[in-house]
């Protein structure tokens, strides 16, 4: 763009408006950092006193603690219990009422991992308890998978404002997901959205590029692995109903693979 492209009349009109509004200068004698806001002394004291409480824990230490706790669990019920006692995920101290870890039959052939607990899950303590969860349960029933599914999320506490879980929050909970894979040894894993795909598979990219693809989820230690399918998150389907056909196609592909394995 060149200066000739500038509308001089419009510029003069805007400057006149600012003048009439009381603006008497465009620059100051010294630069001013307007991004810095000086807090009142009382607010500073509160932030200093609570900083140790809300500070993010050391990720390596948390992962080690999570692995040690998860290794103690010999059953899925025991895994749910020990995961609820884990203090290494910062979400536990950010307003969540309870841990929502997992549920389903002990002999499930399918492990489903969603995003994070929402308000309904936080209130009831049940996995996939909200409107999106009920819709997904209907999909499981219609595809014949309802009675062979163990359900979890990539984190076990509701994020504030239902935001997406942060990578460090997912990393803190990952050892418990891996232990569930070890105990259950499912024939397949279904990942509901990009967030669990990133947590479990380290996948990158958007969900539309990931959905419908099978990848191998293999643990770093041991020989435990399972084929994992990425599909759309049910909450996304509520906002974009036209995408239900793609999610249903993924469910049918999953059901067909499990039938073949059986």
The reported pLDDT for the residue numbered 217 is 95
For tokens 């909970």, what's the residue? Answer: 173
Write down the pLDDT at residue 2.
47
- Taking phi over 0 as left and psi of -120 to 50 as alpha, with beta for the rest, 128 belongs to left
Structural domains in the chain, sorted by start: 60-261 (3.40.470.10)
Both tokens of 152, joined, read: 């979890």
**Cα(94)–Cα(165) distance, rounded to whole angstroms?**
12
Tokens 């006692």 locate to 85
Q: What is the DSSP letter of 149?
A: E
Supply the pLDDT for residue 5: 47
Distances, alpha carbon 154 to alpha carbons 8, 27, 53, 115, 240, in Å: 57, 51, 23, 5, 22
CA–CA dist 184, 188 (Å, integer): 10
Query: What pLDDT was estimated at residue 136?
Result: 96
Q: What is the pLDDT along the chain (262 residues), one digit of tens a residue?
A: 444 444 666 666 666 666 666 555 555 555 555 444 556 666 555 545 444 444 455 677 888 899 999 999 999 999 999 999 999 999 999 999 999 999 999 999 999 999 999 999 999 999 999 999 999 999 999 999 999 999 999 999 999 999 999 999 999 999 999 999 999 999 999 999 999 999 999 988 888 999 999 999 999 876 899 999 999 999 999 999 999 999 999 999 999 999 887 7
The SS3 call for residue 144 is coil
């Amino acid at each position: 763009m060149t200066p000739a492209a500038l509308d001089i009349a419009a510029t003069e009109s805007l400057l006149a408006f600012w003048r009439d509004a009381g603006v008497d200068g465009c620059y100051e004698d010294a630069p001013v950092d307007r991004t810095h806001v000086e807090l009142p002394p009382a607010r500073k004291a509160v932030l200093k006193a609570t900083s140790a409480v809300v500070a993010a824990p050391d990720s390596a230490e948390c992962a080690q603690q999570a692995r040690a706790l998860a290794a103690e669990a010999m059953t899925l019920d025991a895994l749910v219990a020990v995961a609820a006692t884990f203090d290494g995920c910062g979400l536990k101290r950010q307003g969540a009422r309870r841990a929502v870890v997992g549920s389903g039959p002990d002999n499930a052939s399918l492990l489903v991992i969603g995003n994070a607990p929402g308000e309904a899950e936080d209130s009831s303590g049940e996995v996939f308890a909200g409107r999106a969860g009920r819709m997904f349960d209907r999909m499981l029933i219609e595809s014949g998978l309802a009675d062979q599914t163990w359900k979890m999320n990539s984190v076990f506490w509701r994020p504030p404002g239902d935001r997406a879980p942060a990578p460090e929050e997912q990393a803190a909970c990952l050892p418990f997901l891996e232990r569930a894979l070890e105990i259950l040894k499912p024939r397949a894993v279904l990942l509901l959205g990009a967030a669990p795909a990133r947590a479990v598979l380290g996948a990158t990219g958007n969900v539309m590029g990931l959905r419908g693809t099978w990848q191998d989820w293999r643990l770093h230690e041991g020989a435990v692995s399972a084929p994992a399918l990425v599909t759309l998150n049910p909450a996304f389907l509520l906002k974009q109903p036209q995408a239900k056909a793609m999610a249903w196609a993924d469910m049918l592909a999953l059901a067909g693979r499990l039938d073949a394995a059986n």
